[in-house]
Amino acid sequence: MSENNHNLRHYQQLFDLSGQHALVIGAGSGIGAAAAHGLAAHGAHVLCADLREDVAQATAVSISEQGGTAASAAVDITDRASIDAAMTSLPQLDTLVCTPSINVRKPFLDLTADEFDKVVGINLKGSFIAMQEAGKRMQAQSSGSIVLFSSIRSQVVEPGQSIYAATKAGTLQMVRGLASELGSKGVRVNAIAPGVVETPLTRPIRDQPDWYNAYAQKGALGRWAQPSEMVGMVIYLASDASSFVTGTLMVVDGGWLAVDGRFTPPL
Residues with active-site annotation: 164
> Which residues of the chain fall below pLDDT 70?
1-5, 261-265
Give the strand order in the sheet containing 187-194.
69-74, 45-50, 21-25, 95-98, 144-149, 187-194, 249-252
Fold of 13-258: Rossmann fold (3.40.50)
Q: Map out the domains of the chain as residue ranges.
A: 13-258
Q: Please give the span between the terminal C-alpha atoms of the chain, in angstroms, as a whole number.
A: 52
From 233, 204, 194, 189, select the one nearest 95 (Cα to Cα). 189
**Predicted local distance difference test score (pLDDT) of residue 241:** 98
Inter-residue contact 87 to 133 (CB < 8 Å): yes
Q: Which helix (H) or strand (E) is 70 found in, with range?
A: strand 69-74
**Predicted local distance difference test score (pLDDT) of residue 266:** 75
Neighbouring CB atoms inside 10 A of 9's CB total 6
Interval 182-205: pLDDT, tens? 999 999 999 999 999 998 878 888
Inter-residue contact 181 to 247 (CB < 8 Å): no
The SS3 of residue 261 is coil
* Residue 140 C-alpha from the chain's centroid: 23
**Predicted local distance difference test score (pLDDT) of residue 4:** 66
DSSP letter for 243, please: T
**Predicted local distance difference test score (pLDDT) of residue 199:** 87
